């Protein structure tokens, strides 16, 4: 239980500018990196670039989650840049095409992970999905066949 909170705290509440290493980048669209940096540096910009209610799942803490769960604007906690000072995580960014990017962050032992999906609409990038840190299960949204 403490590990869930530690991982969530590490990913979301980190205030360092260092974004850590990215283990795998698949041809990111040219404008995505600039959006991604601003998304984490500017909280107002972040809130304007999230489609609420946001699809996804909360940290499960070992419980089954509501399949109809949505992140709401009033409950959102601002995401800060990801840091991994000890090298305990792998981070991958996949460009599905020029308008969809999926980010996966996992503990190296693959026991826990999180996923965010971004999409471009009307020349702007938006966060469209967020699955918080959860135990990985085969065939769920976090552990899809994208490896």
Closest CA to 25 of 100, 101, 106, 79: 101
The residue ranking higher by pLDDT, 6 or 74, is 74
User: What is the per-residue pLDDT across 76-107, written as a single tens digit (0 to 9) for each?
Assistant: 999 999 899 999 999 999 999 999 999 999 99
Q: Are the beta carbons of 75 and 52 closer than 8 angstroms?
A: no
User: H helices of 13-56, where?
Assistant: 32-41, 43-48
Q: What's the mean per-residue pLDDT of the chain? A: 80
| Domains, the chain, ordered by start | 2-12+22-81+88-135 (3.10.450.410)
The residue ranking higher by pLDDT, 114 or 13, is 114
Please compute, for residue 124, the number of CA atoms within 13 A of its CA located in the half-sphere on the CB side: 12
Confidence bin at 22 (pLDDT 50/70/90): very low
Residue 124 bridge partners (DSSP): 121
Angle at 10 (CA atoms; ends 52, 37), nearest 5 degrees:
55
Confidence bin at 138 (pLDDT 50/70/90): low
Mean pLDDT of 110-125: 94
Confidence bin at 67 (pLDDT 50/70/90): confident
Mean pLDDT of 44-55: 98
């Amino acid at each position: 239980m403490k590990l869930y909170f530690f991982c969530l705290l590490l990913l979301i509440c980190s205030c360092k500018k260092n974004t850590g290493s990215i283990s795998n980048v698949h041809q990111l669209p040219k404008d995505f990196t600039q959006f991604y940096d601003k998304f984490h540096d500017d909280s107002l910009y972040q809130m304007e670039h999230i489609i609420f209610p946001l699809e996804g799942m909360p940290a499960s803490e070992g419980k089954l989650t509501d399949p109809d769960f949505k992140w709401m604007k009033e409950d959102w906690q601002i995401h800060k840049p990801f840091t991994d000072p000890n090298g305990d995580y792998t981070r991958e960014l996949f460009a599905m095409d020029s308008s969809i990017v999926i980010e996966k962050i996992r503990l190296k032992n693959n026991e826990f992970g999180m996923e965010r999906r971004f999409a471009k609409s009307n020349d702007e990038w938006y966060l469209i999905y967020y699955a918080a840190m959860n135990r990985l299960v085969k065939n769920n949204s976090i552990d899809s066949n994208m490896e």
